[in-house]
Amino acid sequence: MIQLTINGRPVEVDEGATLLDAAAAAGVHVPTLCHHPRLPAQAVCRLCLVEVDGQPRPQPACATRARAGDRVSTDSGALRQFRQTNLGWLLARHPDDCIRCEAGGACKLQALVGEYQLQEHWGKVPMGSAEHPGHRLADHTSPSIWRDLSKCVECGLCAQACGEPGQQQFVIGFAERGSDRLPVTVFDRPLAETNCISCGQCTAVCPVGALVETPHWHEVLETLDGRRRVSAVQVAPATRIAISEEFGMAPGTVSTGRLINALRRLGFDHVFDTNFAADLTAMEEGSELLARLQARQRLPLFTSCCPGWVNWVELNRPALLPHLSTTKSPQQMHGAVTKRGAFARGLGPAFAQGAAEPYVVSVMPCTAKKDEAQRPGVCGDVDHVLTTRELARMIRARGIAFGALPPDGQFDHPLGESTGAGQLFGASGGVMEAMVRAALHLTGQDSALPLEWQQFRGVDAGVKSAEVPGLGRVAVCNGIAAAQRLLETPQWRQDFVAIEVMACVGGCLGGGGEPKSMDPLILHKRMQAVYQVDRQSARRRPHENEAVQELYATQLGHPNSGRAHALLHTSYAA
């Protein structure tokens, strides 16, 4: 440990910590736009310059190591003046449409305007202006991600998240230099015409509103207010945890009950659980694996619930499409059962008469789920997809005090019933854990492995593998970059019988639609909460879900049956 002072306050930090870390440890806020705790320091925005006694010039706190005995000043008159000038330049060419901006309250620039009293600097640049001649500034072509580069503050975080060291997709990169620096696509193509996999990691790190999820929340509110259709909403496993952060609760807080109550207040008639369909997915995918093992065909099986990964295969390695599980993702499966399942017909008069198809909304931690909902073959299962961030905006827009809601809301049944296995889907490795729980049950070996399978847990990006008794070796790729690396090895076809791929590091709990967070331990905290929900569940194996059992008994027959395929499976195309 080393000791130094920040604005006169003594503080102790680990060897190797930056001055920004030291300031945070001292409880001192230093402004940044280009810093993100999960990405390397760039020191391009210069807002975090601080004065260090003995240094002739201010130093970027994000990229300067703290040294023992440093005496650091973060808020001198000169620094405030410098930051005001710097922000003034940014504002002079920034649109003044904050009221309508999809970044909502989550814009760092907007916060700094207040902090540095810069209101009079506000520019008058309309969206899509010709500030950067020759470049496409507004791009609404992607079903998942909207770009408005007139709002870009050139921090570079999106390019890092998309390329190195992030997702290794390199769809967004920097064109030009100096004041014309802009993160553009290859050949400046609209996003929909690039190899973007829609994971939305760029939107999760953008400090302003230049990259946002394609918004659905306005239409959802309008439809709910119209009350012309019976409405149903499903909630993803990762959302019930991360939504707490949007309302000032500690990361890792599980807010399932409050979330259910908030959705009812927003006007949804039925509040269901995506975890129900995750249990069903595990049953179908586990059976599919057993069938392929028996036929010795299309092995290894790749999981297919992550649309970022499915997009990647379609765009980059179409020869692998036969290996993808044909099982629909839980989101799509839930939508299909809600709209067309026997349960749905018993839910209420409008469902029963089929007079008006129910309006189905999902809340996901993921921008790619918006894209998935429009895929051929599943399109229509789900009408609108909200990210966790969008739902938080809706809750705020309707004046619902989330923290004051009763914490004991319950999902509606039967499509709200779930086991701990379904919750595991929200973490990297969890889909495999749940599928193995199902497959071991189907082969009569429930106790062949411990319920909690530590080999696949943890937030570290990379490939993990383990042997499943009676089935073979299976692998988990935590992040799309890990999958790309695995596919470059010569042995992957021979080594494994099943491979889980989640495009986002950490799995969906690190999804592109989750609340923006500057907590370096955020993935770990959310992941621990996923395991806590599983551990506290009365039932923890997918087949123990009684509503799933009833669905098979009354409508589908058995997992992987012809009827199950018609409702719960899909196909892929290059």
**Residues contributing to the site for ligand HC1 (CB under 6 A):** 236-238, 274, 278, 305-306, 329-331, 364-366, 369, 425-426, 507-508, 511
Of 372, 362, 428, 365, the closest CA to residue 200 belongs to 365
Q: Is 515 in the site for ligand SF4 (CB under 6 A)?
A: no
Nearest distance, CB of residue 401 and ligand SF4, angstroms: 28
Nearest distance, CB of residue 483 and ligand HC1, angstroms: 15
Q: Is 365 in the site for ligand SF4 (CB under 6 A)?
A: yes
Q: Is 504 in the site for ligand SF4 (CB under 6 A)?
A: yes
Contacted by 341, from ligand HC1, ligand SF4, none: CB < 5 to 8 Å by type: none
Window of 5-13, 249-257, 270-278, 498-506 that interacts with ligand SF4 by CB under 6 A: 498-506
Window of 92-100, 375-383, 409-417, 506-514 that interacts with ligand SF4 by CB under 6 A: 506-514
Tally of CA atoms within 13 A in the half-sphere of 526 that contains its CB:
32
Contacted by 515, from ligand HC1, ligand SF4, none: CB < 5 to 8 Å by type: none
What strands lie across the sheet with 462-468, from one edge to the other? 301-302, 498-502, 472-478, 462-468
Nearest distance, CB of residue 259 and ligand SF4, angstroms: 18
Q: How far apart are CA 124 and CA 116, in angstroms?
A: 19
Residue 185 or residue 329: which is nearer to ligand HC1 going by CB? Answer: 329
Residue 293 or residue 378: which is nearer to ligand SF4 going by CB? Answer: 378
Residue 58 or residue 430: which is nearer to ligand HC1 going by CB? Answer: 430
- Burial class of residue 574 (count of CB atoms within 10 Å of its CB; 0-12, 13-18, 19+): exposed
Residue 360 or residue 509: which is nearer to ligand SF4 going by CB? Answer: 509
Q: How far apart are CA 341 and CA 344, in angstroms?
A: 5
Nearest distance, CB of residue 476 and ligand SF4, angstroms: 12
Beta 301-302 vs 498-502: how paired, if at all? parallel
The CA-based angle 417-421-422, given to 5 degrees, is 50
Are the beta carbons of 438 and 541 closer than 8 angstroms? yes
Residue showing the smallest CB distance to ligand HC1 in the complex: 508
Beta 71-73 vs 138-139: how paired, if at all? unpaired
- Per-residue binder mask for ligand SF4 (CB under 6 A), 285-314, x = binder: ---------------------xxx------
Contacts from 8-13 at CB under 8 Å and sequence distance 24+?
13/66
Q: Strand, helix or coil at 225?
A: helix
Q: Is 459 in the site for ligand SF4 (CB under 6 A)?
A: no
Contacted by 330, from ligand HC1, ligand SF4, none: CB < 5 to 8 Å by type: ligand HC1
Contacted by 274, from ligand HC1, ligand SF4, none: CB < 5 to 8 Å by type: ligand HC1
Residue 369 or residue 543: which is nearer to ligand HC1 going by CB? Answer: 369
Q: How far apart are CA 442 and CA 110, in angstroms?
A: 54
Residue showing the smallest CB distance to ligand SF4 in the complex: 511
Window of 40-48, 128-136, 142-150, 502-510 that interacts with ligand SF4 by CB under 6 A: 502-510
Q: Is 196 in the site for ligand SF4 (CB under 6 A)?
A: no
Residue 152 or residue 435: which is nearer to ligand HC1 going by CB? Answer: 435
- Burial class of residue 314 (count of CB atoms within 10 Å of its CB; 0-12, 13-18, 19+): middle
Q: Is 429 in the site for ligand SF4 (CB under 6 A)?
A: no
Query: Which of residues 508, 530, 533, 548 is near ligand SF4 by CB under 6 A?
Result: 508
Write down the residue that tokens 């390199």 correspond to: 170
Distance of CA 337 to the CA centre of its chain: 24
Distance of CA 62 to the CA centre of its chain: 26
Tally of CA atoms within 13 A in the half-sphere of 125 that contains its CB:
21
Write down the residue that tokens 């082969």 correspond to: 443
- Other Cβ atoms closer than 10 A to 174: 15
Window of 42-50, 269-277, 295-303, 500-508 that interacts with ligand SF4 by CB under 6 A: 500-508
Nearest distance, CB of residue 375 and ligand SF4, angstroms: 13
DSSP state of 327: B
Tally of CA atoms within 13 A in the half-sphere of 242 that contains its CB:
36
Contacted by 405, from ligand HC1, ligand SF4, none: CB < 5 to 8 Å by type: none
Are the beta carbons of 269 and 230 closer than 8 angstroms? yes
Contacted by 547, from ligand SF4, ligand HC1, none: CB < 5 to 8 Å by type: none
Of 380, 378, 373, the closest CA to residue 358 belongs to 380
- The Cα-based distances of 255 to 235, 415, 521, 525, 551 in angstroms read 12, 19, 19, 14, 28
Contacted by 503, from ligand SF4, ligand HC1, none: CB < 5 to 8 Å by type: ligand SF4
Contacted by 199, from ligand HC1, ligand SF4, none: CB < 5 to 8 Å by type: ligand SF4
Q: How far apart are CA 422 and CA 533, in angstroms?
A: 10
Window of 282-290, 341-349, 449-457, 505-513 that interacts with ligand SF4 by CB under 6 A: 505-513
Q: Is 149 in the site for ligand SF4 (CB under 6 A)?
A: no
| Phi/psi at 3 (5° precision) | -115, 140
Which residues form the interface with ligand SF4 (CB under 6 A)? 199, 306-308, 365-366, 368, 502-504, 507-508, 511-512
